[in-house]
A = this chain, B = another copy of it.
Amino acid sequence: MRYRTVIVDDHPIVISGIAGLLTDLNNIEIVKKFESGIALLDYIEDHHVDLILMDIFLPVINGVDLCKTIKQKHPKIVIIGMSSQSERSLVMQFIQNGGNGYILKNASFDEFKDCIYKAIDGEIVFSEEVKTIISQPLSEDLERIPALSRRERDIALLLSQGKSTQEIADDLFLSFLTVQTHRRNILQKYKMKNVAELIAFLLKNNMMN
């Protein structure tokens, strides 16, 4: 069986580069190349596609939303995301929206080949550098960020649930003024302007739950 494959990237040079790599694989057939996500959405309505390799940074519609849209209608299409540089949260978002894998464009030919075959086989795949990106914040990101104390975490959690200072005080059997102090200490510790920014910060850095 030959896998009908589509490449989406807004840089024509990158498209031809990837296409060049893939022609060597005898069961991957490149049926179409696109420079925008909108054109791709039209195409897959009328044509059978097995595999999509897509850049994440696309004009008009970004790769994450594009992947989500495609997977809703065509869950069987295998979608692999690509980008030049990347960050942890972007990769995770892509996977959470149905992506079957993520490759950095500087990956070797062997990595590309490996990842594509494994993704077709039903696995969720990452190129080497992506793997280090998603599991490395441990040594940089998280070590320099001071941790929440137990009580602070309790209060942050209730804040994220929309509770007011008074409600939190009631929940934890504390004085209103105590909760107010804790909240202010947390805001100062991370230099956040208000609770909204704090919650966004804590969630993005996996510091809650």
Where the two chains meet, the residues of A that have a C-beta atom closer than 8 Å to any C-beta of B are 68, 71-72, 75, 88-89, 92-93, 95-100, 118, 122-126, 128, 131, 134-135, 137-139, 142-143, 159-164, 192-200, 203-204, 206, 209
Contact = CB atoms under 8 A, between A and B. Distances in A.
Given A88-B96, A93-B209, A162-B196, 12 more contacts: A75-B139, A96-B134, A96-B137, A98-B135, A123-B123, A123-B125, A161-B200, A162-B193, A162-B198, A162-B200, A194-B195, A200-B203
A71 B139 CA distance: 9
Contacts of A196: 159-160, 162, 195-196, 198-199
A125 to B, nearest CB: 7
Nearest to A71: B138
The secondary-structure label for the interface of chain A is helix
Nearest to A131: B124
B68 A138 contact: yes
Contacts of A209: 89, 93
A129 B160 CA distance: 30
B96 A162 contact: no
A165 to B, nearest CB: 11
B93 A197 contact: no
Contacts of A137: 96
Given A143-B72, A203-B203, A138 B197 contact: no
Nearest to A200: B160
Contact of A138 (B98, B163, B195, B199): B98
A131 B122 CA distance: 9
A21 B192 CA distance: 50
B95 A135 contact: yes
Given A161-B200, A162-B196, A199-B196, A206 B124 contact: no
Contacts of A75: 138-139
A208 to B, nearest CB: 8
